[in-house]
Amino acid sequence: MPSLADATPPIALGALDGRYRVAVAPLVDHLSEAALNRERVHVEVEWLVFQTSHGVVPGVRKLTDDEVAALRQVVTDFGPDDVAELGDIERVTVHDVKAVEYYLKRRLAAIAPAEEDKGLAELIHFGCTSEDVNNLSYALMVKGAVTEVWLPKARALVDQLATMARELRDTPLLAHTHGQPATPTTMGKELAVLAWRLTRQLRRVERQEYLGKFNGATGTYGAHLLALPDVDWPAVSREFVEGLGLTWNPLTTQIESHDWQAELYADLARFNRILHNLCTDVWTYISMGYFAQVRGQGTVGSSTMPHKVNPIRFENAEANLEVSNALLDVLGSTLVESRMQRDLTDSSMQRNIGTAFGHGLLALDNVARGLAGLDAVPAAMAADLEANWEVLAEPIQSAMRALGAQGVPGMEEPYERLKELTRGRRINGDDLREFVRGLGLPADVEARFLELTPQTYTALASRLVDYLP
């Protein structure tokens, strides 16, 4: 039997690089191993440019504009051939960041080939420990993944949900608390609650800081200061890090402490958990007939039951949200710890960031597709409301309490009287109206309750949708 491991091109081990590749492909440019190497090249190039343009090392000439442009083009043009070349170098160095240094020295030799320029190559990776390059690279990668991929997809989904909420703002819905019939609401208001919750988490993610450090082997600028004692190294570090679009972290060990990553992953996980709640609620509404899955009927719902259209988008999203959160949680809890000045657990752990984002992005895609395939069924919602007139016991006993407090006679024990009428039994409209007529309510109050139905008892639900941004 041939080994599938020997197939060409290689067969993906995981679903994200196999079955679901199309949905998560945009993350490859940000969170793959190749993207990590491209960002390493980016950081090293910018550090070389910064040193020469700011005169960090006395006597070193400034790179020309053409040379700077050519170096930055190395980053722009970074592709599969460069990945392969780096792999060849790393097989010799057995060190990924050192391989980037040697790779870039080759490029610099072609850009500035003059004999007097050979010393420029020694400024590539000057004063750096590997983590100076890595932490900045990961910060840039994650920032790009969030701002260019995850946030646009998440915003689009929340906008889609908010649009549904507005469209269904006036559609009455029998609420269920503890699984039991409860005070009616509207489908739009219930979807708006979820959209509001998700929006708050989006705002937290949008405010996220992405920290970076650039201070040497144990965060003391030790080698920097002995090599060049007249340089204000914290000022150089800060300007360089902020020039990359990151927030400078002045106090670290060998590694940037990753607290910002833990903060971000907690917010992403909370967004995912709210989205999971949406999936289970919509799945339940589908099972109750409140939504029909009538679009995209070319799909097969069940392999044996032709009548079925299974809510697979929401089920798939649930599973992927759970996988994403498992990874986000372990990333957040593990990355904030490092033995004394450095251990290597974060290096292995951070290579799972792309997988965590990938499953979350796949879930966003599935929920969006699932929502797009739904049509509300107001008749089914109305039928459940009509079958549950007992939910009107709440406003009647509340009105009686208010009247009793105002001294209206005959309003004693309203809760107990409504409980006797409704608990453990079904009533219809005629039963309730007969009960109301016997309460001795003021004429205007009685008239209000005689006109009330479960379908009209939605209070301010429609108006509350306007709180959505």
User: Is 324 assigned a catalytic role?
Assistant: no
Beta bridge partners of 375: 292
Gap between the Cα atoms of 178 and 175, Å rounded? 10
DSSP string for 287-328? HTTSEEE-S-TTS-S-SS-TT----HHHHHHHHHHHHHHHHH
Gap between the Cα atoms of 176 and 162, Å rounded? 21
Q: Estimate to the nearest angstrom the gap between the alpha carbon of 304 and the chain centroid.
A: 36
What is the DSSP secondary structure assignment for residue 187, as one 8-state letter? H
Give the 3-state secondary structure of residue 371: helix
Q: Which amino acid is located at 361 in the chain?
A: L
Joined together, the tokens standing for residue 408 give: 């209206």
User: Is 3 assigned a catalytic role?
Assistant: no
Name the strand (E) or helix (H) holding 220.
none
Taking CA 91 as the corner, what is the angle to CA 145 and CA 107, rounded to the nearest 5 degrees?
65
Gap between the Cα atoms of 416 and 400, Å rounded? 11
Q: How many CA atoms lie within 13 A of 91 on its CB side?
A: 5
At residue 56, φ and ψ (nearest 5 deg) are: -60, -45
How many C-beta atoms surround the C-beta of residue 157 within 10 A? Answer: 21
Gap between the Cα atoms of 353 and 27, Å rounded? 10
How many C-beta atoms surround the C-beta of residue 382 within 10 A? Answer: 17
Q: What residues have CB less than 8 Å from 420, skipping those under 6 apart?
A: none
Catalytic one of 53, 95, 287, 302: 302
C-alpha distances out from residue 236 to 56, 130, 225, 257, 300, Å: 8, 18, 12, 20, 61
Best CA proximity match to 414, nearest among 449, 453, 456: 449
Catalytic one of 3, 178, 303, 348: 178
Catalytic site positions:
178, 302
